[in-house]
Amino acid sequence: MTKEQFVLELQKIGAIKFGSFTLKSGLVSPFYFDLRDMISFPEILEGVADLLAERIKDMDFDVLTGIPYTALPIASLVASKLKKPLVYMRKEEKAYGTGKNIIGKFEKGAKCLVIDDLITTGASKIETAEAYEKEGVIIKDFVVVIDRSSNGKEDLAKKGYELHSLINLDEIMKLLQSMNLISDEKVNEVREFTASISKPVDEKKEITNPLTKKLMSKIKEKKSNLVLSLDVTTQKEFFEILDEVSSEIVMLKTHVDILDDYDENFVPKLQEYSRKYDFIIFEDRKFADIGNTVKHQYRNGVYKICDWAEFVTVHMVAGEGILKGLFDGTENRSSFVLARMSSKGNLINETYSRKCFEVARKYPNVISGFIGHGNSVEDIKRFKAKFPIGMLLLTPGVKLERGTDAMGQQYITVEDAIQGGADCIIVGRGIIKAEDRKKEAKIYRERAWEEYEKMNI
DSSP string computed for 281-309:
EEEEEEE-S-HHHHHHHHHSTTT-HHHH-
Residue numbers 242-261 binding ligand S5P by CB under 6 A: 255
Strands 424-427 and 138-147: unpaired
Distance in Å, CB of 443 to ligand S5P, minimum: 15
Distance CA 434, CA 94 (A): 35
* Count of residues near ligand S5P by CB under 6 A: 19
Distance in Å, CB of 405 to ligand S5P, minimum: 7
- Give the closest residue to 346 by CA, choosing from 427, 412, 407, 416: 407
Amino acid at 406: A
CA atoms within 13 A on the CB side of 140: 9
DSSP string computed for 221-279:
HHT--EEEE---S-HHHHHHHHHHHGGG-SEEEE-GGG-TT--TTHHHHHHHHHHHHT-
- Give the closest residue to 374 by CA, choosing from 325, 341, 330: 341
Q: Please, is 63 exposed, middle or buried when counting C-beta atoms within 10 Å of its C-beta (0-12, 13-18, 19+)? A: buried
C-beta of residue 216 within 8 angstroms of C-beta of residue 424: no
Interface mask toward ligand S5P for 430-449; x: CB under 6 A: x-------------------
Residue numbers 213-242 binding ligand S5P by CB under 6 A: 229, 231
- Give the closest residue to 16 by CA, choosing from 116, 118, 114: 118
- The residue with its CB nearest to ligand S5P is 428
Distance in Å, CB of 299 to ligand S5P, minimum: 21
Among 75, 341, 418, 422, interactor with ligand S5P by CB under 6 A: 341
Distance in Å, CB of 413 to ligand S5P, minimum: 12
- Of the pair 147, 440, the CB lying nearest ligand S5P is at 440
Angle at 275 (CA atoms; ends 256, 451), nearest 5 degrees: 80
DSSP H stretches of helix in 389-435: 414-420, 429-432
- Of the pair 160, 408, the CB lying nearest ligand S5P is at 408
Among 396, 425, 444, 447, interactor with ligand S5P by CB under 6 A: 396
Distance in Å, CB of 130 to ligand S5P, minimum: 23
Active site residue 236: no
Residue numbers 412-431 binding ligand S5P by CB under 6 A: 426-430
Distance in Å, CB of 229 to ligand S5P, minimum: 4
Among 120, 194, 297, 313, interactor with ligand S5P by CB under 6 A: 313
Query: Helix or strand or coil: residue 180?
Result: coil
Task: Tell me the window of 144-152, 156-164, 340-348, 445-453 that interacts with ligand S5P (CB under 6 A).
Answer: 340-348
Distance in Å, CB of 435 to ligand S5P, minimum: 16
Among 155, 284, 379, 451, interactor with ligand S5P by CB under 6 A: 284
Distance CA 440, CA 235 (A): 21
Q: For residue 357, what are the contacts with CB-CB under 8 A and spacing of at least 6?
A: 339, 370, 386, 387, 388, 391
Task: Tell me the window of 242-250, 267-275, 335-343, 441-449 that interacts with ligand S5P (CB under 6 A).
Answer: 335-343
Distance in Å, CB of 416 to ligand S5P, minimum: 14
Among 47, 397, 420, 421, interactor with ligand S5P by CB under 6 A: 397
- Of the pair 230, 323, the CB lying nearest ligand S5P is at 230
Cis-peptide into 32, omega within 30 deg: no
C-beta of residue 391 within 8 angstroms of C-beta of residue 433: no
- Of the pair 35, 427, the CB lying nearest ligand S5P is at 427
Choosing from 236, 269, 286, 381, the catalytic residue is 286
Interface mask toward ligand S5P for 355-394; x: CB under 6 A: ----------------x-x---------------------
**Looking at the annotation, which residues are catalytic?**
286
Report the interface residues with ligand S5P, using CB under 6 A: 229, 231, 255, 284, 313, 338, 341-343, 371, 373, 396-397, 409, 426-430
